[in-house]
């Protein structure tokens, strides 16, 4: 049993627990990505604060249930490594609790996310009538990008969140900013070229410093550029 001599140890152990769940449980990574996508959708559809609170609370229940499910499975495996009906029941019941929270989250999302006329209005907006503000699109894209990189790093089990890892976060952020500048200064080609050259220098510094391999910085650059181009081309009035 670990003693909490330092009050910060409790926070540290909690982070370790979260990292372990993300690293070992594919469903947890999917649920967390869903949370980020919900936040992005809430920005695009301009949901009210109360609606966002309901969505956050709902998806948090799913994440919590998944973590309890993982903890129960670990305890059962610790007690017995052989088949036992009670062990099976414990795991099945925990998985059933997760299923209930997922169904509940899907139902709430279906009820809260705009439909019918609101969806047609959004489609018209995307078509160029009144697209979402580019600042909202940039923020939503950045949140999605950082979340995907974080999940990728945790799942890869290599390096740290802020240094190293299977994908270069610095390279991704650099190319995200370069793509944003390119769309903001669409008619000024030279500005866009210089922005991408600076992003390349950032990626090169990560390779020369021995922090990332060439493959890892290329993955970060492609991920950021791809997501940004799609987001700005579809939702932003800058294009």
Tell me whether residue 50 is one of the annotated catalytic residues.
no
C-alpha to C-alpha distance for 58 and 109, rounded to whole angstroms: 9
Taking the mean position of all CA atoms in its chain, how far away is CA 59?
A: 13
Taking the mean position of all CA atoms in its chain, how far away is CA 145?
A: 7
Q: How far apart are the first and last CA of the chain?
A: 57
Burial classification of residue 216, based on how many CB atoms lie within 10 Å of its CB (0-12 exposed, 13-18 middle, 19 or more buried): buried
Count the neighbouring beta carbons within 10 Å of the beta carbon of residue 88. Answer: 11
CA proximity to 59, closest of 32, 40, 41: 32
Q: What secondary structure letter does DSSP report for 53? A: H
Pick the catalytic residue: 16, 50, 66, 216?
66
Which residues are designated catalytic? 66
């Amino acid at each position: 049993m670990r003693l909490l001599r330092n009050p910060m140890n409790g926070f540290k152990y909690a982070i370790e627990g979260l990292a372990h769940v993300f690293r070992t449980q594919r469903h947890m990574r999917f649920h967390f990505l869903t949370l980020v996508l919900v936040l992005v959708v809430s920005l695009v559809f301009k949901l009210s604060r109360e609606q966002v609170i309901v969505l956050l609370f709902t998806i948090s229940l799913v994440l919590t249930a998944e973590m309890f499910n993982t903890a129960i499975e670990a305890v059962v495996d610790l007690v017995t490594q052989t088949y036992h009906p009670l062990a099976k029941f414990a795991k099945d019941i925990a998985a059933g609790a997760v299923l209930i929270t997922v169904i509940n989250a899907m139902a709430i999302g279906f009820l809260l996310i705009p439909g019918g006329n609101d969806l047609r209005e959004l489609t018209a907006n995307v078509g160029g009538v009144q697209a979402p503000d580019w600042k909202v699109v940039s923020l939503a894209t950045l949140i999605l990008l950082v979340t995907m990189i974080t999940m990728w790093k945790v799942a890869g089990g290599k390096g740290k969140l802020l240094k190293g890892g299977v994908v270069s976060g610095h390279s991704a952020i650099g190319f995200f900013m370069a793509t944003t500048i390119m769309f903001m200064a669409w008619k000024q080609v030279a500005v866009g070229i210089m922005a991408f050259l600076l992003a390349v220098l950032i990626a090169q510094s990560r390779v020369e410093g021995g922090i990332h391999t060439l493959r890892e910085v290329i993955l970060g650059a492609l991920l950021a550029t791809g997501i940004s181009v799609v987001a700005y081309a579809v939702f932003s009035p800058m294009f």
